[in-house]
Amino acid sequence: MIRAQSAEICVESIGDSASPAVLLIGGAASSMDWWEDELCERLAEGGRRVIRYDNRDTGRSTTWPAGDPGYSGDDLVADAVAILDALSIDAAHIAGLSMGGALAQLLGLEHRDRVLSLTLMSTTLVTGDHADLPGMTPQLAAALGRTEEPDWSNREAAIQYIVEAERPLAGPGDFDEERMRALASRVVDRSNDTEAAMTNHFLLGDEDPGGRTLGELAGIPTLVIHGTADAMFPDHGRALAEAIPGARLIELEDVGHQYPPPRTWDVVIDALGEHTAGPGR
């Protein structure tokens, strides 16, 4: 547990502390559990210090009442910096997914000296570049609208809610119900407040980058990983890679708006290993 302003953040470091650090930032409503053990261990075996953590309101980190988060997106960015400070890491390779990808972009813009490289996964542009990009597909919007909140005090109901919320986000053939149920069970069992975890991040407003553009990330090696079946941010990966000078794009065939499924781990781990092997910025 480390102190970050008004919160206690639960952090795990995997691998040799002398190895280059890779800080994993999860998406909205995501505890560290979504960065699965095997994925993190394989990255660490490749000579990286892998750091994952529970965002505020998730896992073992400080929670606020459901529906009333007492913090902003800026605080989430500051939490990542506080983690690096607490672990005595001057600069790290930053990998973020969905909301975590937005936070990673803000880290690059606002705390450039702490960022060696960026890996942006299943996310969109945090600035006003390409404002004409499509929103989520009508099919996904309809599916998410049919998911009713459970009795959060009922463990099985909470687990089922998470499973069903993830189902429409996955790409074709990539929803493994048994695997997702096991993961959702772990998430619920580790959460201080599952309702807060599944609610509060979605109430945060978009952070204003103050008129800055992603062109300012020039010089920070950037890897964009995006699924071709991402119905939340369709085609946003290509636009993101175009907006950041020198960015490399890897498209994962038939992957949706989700953490990389196991069938893609060889590709993702190899790409992350290669991307974080150099000196970075």
Catalytic residue among 201, 226, 236, 257: 257
Q: Is 98 a catalytic residue?
A: yes
Q: Is 208 a catalytic residue?
A: no
How would DSSP label each residue in 104-150?
A: HHHHHHH-GGGEEEEEEES---SSSTTTT---S-HHHHHHHHT----
Tokens of 21: 């650090």
Q: What is the biggest distance separating any 2 CA atoms in the chain, rounded to whole angstroms?
A: 49
Q: Is 236 a catalytic residue?
A: no
Q: Are 198 and 162 in contact (CB under 8 A)?
A: yes
Helices 37-45, 265-275: crossing angle, 10 deg rounding: 40
| Residue 248, beta-bridge partner list | 223
Catalytic residue among 30, 31, 98, 117: 98
Q: Are 35 and 52 in contact (CB under 8 A)?
A: yes
Tokens of 63: 């929670």
Catalytic residue among 122, 230, 236, 275: 230
Q: Which active-site residues does the annotation give? A: 98, 230, 257
